[in-house]
């Protein structure tokens, strides 16, 4: 069982930045593909960004491309969010799965999820 804990959310003005972090309790993340997803009130959960176990490339939703950067080390997953917009307001979740060839943006393929960290962007 992998327990994921997100941190770094908060309230920020439009155009501002936040850095989210995700750590696994008691283990490293090096064996897993990792992703960030988000869910706004009244909306379905959506893919934000992902990075495979061997981080030679990254994958982003069109809505965040050029503004968000996903990265990782053995201990943590990160999401640097710049030029934030009010529509980025959501609960952000970290997710992990054993290395797979399945699509990185497919949330059902992720076995482990954190509790989420709230990001609120004011206009």
What would the two tokens of residue 18 be? 């936040």
Query: Tens digit of pLDDT for each residue in 50-59?
Result: 999 987 899 9
Residue 108: its pLDDT value, please?
Answer: 95
How far apart, in Å, are the Cα atoms of 17 and each of 20, 27, 57, 92? 10, 28, 23, 15
pLDDT of 36 > 90? The answer is: yes
Q: What is the mean pLDDT of residues 35-43?
A: 97
Cross-strand pairs, 34 = 51, 96
User: What sign results for the dihedral spanned by CA atoms 41, 87, 44, 81?
Assistant: negative
How far apart, in Å, are the Cα atoms of 44 and each of 1, 39, 86? 25, 6, 17
Cross-strand pairs, 79 = 20, 70
What percentage of the chain carries pLDDT values higher than 70? Answer: 100
| Gap between the Cα atoms of 68 and 94, Å rounded | 14
Residue 74: its pLDDT value, please?
Answer: 84
Residue 1: its pLDDT value, please?
Answer: 80
Residue 55: its pLDDT value, please?
Answer: 75
Coil vs helix vs strand at 108: helix
Residue 56: its pLDDT value, please?
Answer: 81
């Amino acid at each position: 069982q992998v327990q994921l804990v997100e941190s770094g959310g908060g309230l920020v003005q439009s155009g501002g930045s936040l850095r989210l972090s995700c750590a696994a309790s008691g283990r490293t993340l090096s064996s897993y593909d990792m992703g960030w997803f988000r869910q706004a009130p009244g909306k379905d959960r959506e893919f934000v960004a992902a990075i495979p176990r061997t981080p030679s490339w990254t994958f982003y939703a069109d809505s965040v491309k050029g503004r968000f950067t996903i990265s990782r080390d053995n201990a943590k997953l990160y999401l640097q969010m710049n030029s934030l917009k009010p529509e980025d307001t959501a609960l952000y979740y970290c997710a992990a799965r054993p290395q797979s060839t399945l699509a990185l943006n497919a949330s059902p393929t992720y076995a482990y999820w954190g509790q989420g960290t709230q990001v609120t962007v004011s206009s």
